[in-house]
């Protein structure tokens, strides 16, 4: 089942250096839990925040290219990125969902990312 979800989101085509899996769906919302090889620190959090801000800046420049509401938070031993693709035009939904994974691919030390982990 996990492989089918990964395939449905297109994770298999992203060429990420870290492992990523989709564990379920929750309507228009996606929660990306990012786990690191070493202890999570403020520098890693800032790097993830910066990567996501750069990603958002590339798309959210007008109403036609809105890629959703995105929030980055530090939670215990992981970083959580929340994405709500409600009101996102259909042609930008895959860009938003996959784009988060591609954006953080530049952050070193990520061990794996679980999307919609319960």
Residue-level pLDDT at 2: 58
CA–CA separation, 10 vs 76, rounded Å?
A: 28
Between 108 and 6, where is the model more confident?
108
pLDDT tens column, 27-69: 899 999 999 999 999 999 999 999 999 999 888 766 678 899 9
Domains, the chain, in order of start with CATH, read 2-115 (3.30.70)
User: Is-contact 67 95, C-beta < 8 A?
Assistant: yes
Distance of alpha carbon 75 from its chain centroid, rounded?
A: 15
pTM of the entire predicted model: 0.92
User: Is-contact 44 53, C-beta < 8 A?
Assistant: no
As a residue count, the chain comes to: 118
Following DSSP, what letter does each residue of 21-60 receive, concatenated? Answer: EE---BTTEEEEEEEESS---HHHHHHHHHHHHHHHHHHT
Lowest mean pLDDT among 14-23, 31-40, 51-60, 104-113: 51-60
């Amino acid at each position: 089942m996990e492989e089918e979800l990964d395939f449905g989101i297109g994770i298999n085509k992203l060429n990420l250096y870290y492992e990523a899996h989709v564990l379920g769906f929750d309507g228009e919302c996606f929660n990306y839990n990012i786990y690191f090889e070493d202890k999570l620190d403020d520098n890693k959090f800032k790097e993830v925040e910066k990567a996501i801000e750069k990603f958002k800046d590339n798309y959210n420049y007008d109403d036609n290219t809105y890629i959703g509401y995105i929030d980055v938070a530090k939670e215990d031993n992981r970083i959580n990125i929340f994405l709500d693709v409600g009101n996102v035009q259909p042609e930008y939904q895959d860009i938003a969902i996959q784009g988060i994974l591609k954006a953080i691919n530049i952050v070193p030390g990520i061990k794996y990312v679980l999307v919609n982990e319960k």
